[in-house]
Amino acid sequence: MKEMNFEEIASMYDPLIKSQIRLYKLTRNFDQYYQAGLLGLWKAYESFNPEKGQFSSNAFLLVRGRILQELRSEARRQERETSQDPHEYGALRTLSFQDHIPLLEDELLNECIMHLTENQKRWVIHRVIHFKSEKEIAQMFHVTIYAVKSWRKAALKKLRSVLNTQ
């Protein structure tokens, strides 16, 4: 991908970013979420390693993850602004781990994740979607960092084989 400049990549993956925004009905603050999607695409562009899989798969996960991260940040901002009267604004709350499971109901992502063990799913959701560090994940599940790294290694291996067979 480095043979193409980022403007060409951004133009090529513009439909992906817009489809993710439409999928979650985030058109009200379109520019904000579009910028988040571009940041995810930039991260994918900068960190792409052809030996570790296809660019499109990595771009999809990072664009989606960055848009969802922006959505969570916006929910937290709104919660802080409205926290004076919690009864009136009870619907606005920070999204929890359980709230994100329905957001993963995308055919490709579900198809990929269903091949993973529970611990591998934990790694994908918390590291890729929530951008938590391996140390934070280890603390969350009361395991060692090395255990989380083994989840990552196995998850990436399975995801590569699943994505290469499609």
pLDDT at 84: 52
* Six-digit token string for 69: 């991260």
pTM for the structure as a whole: 0.50
Better-scored residue on pLDDT, 146 or 164: 146
Q: How do residues 50-81 score in pLDDT, each as one tens digit?
A: 888 888 888 998 999 999 988 888 888 877 77
Choice among 15-24, 68-77, 80-89, 157-166 with the minimum mean pLDDT: 80-89
Domains of the chain (ranges; CATH) run 1-94 (1.10.1740), 96-166 (1.10.10.10)
Distance between CA atoms of 79 and 14, rounded to whole angstroms?
31
Give the model's pLDDT for residue 102.
Answer: 40
CA atoms within 13 A on the CB side of 70: 22
Neighbours of 94 (CB within 10 A): 12
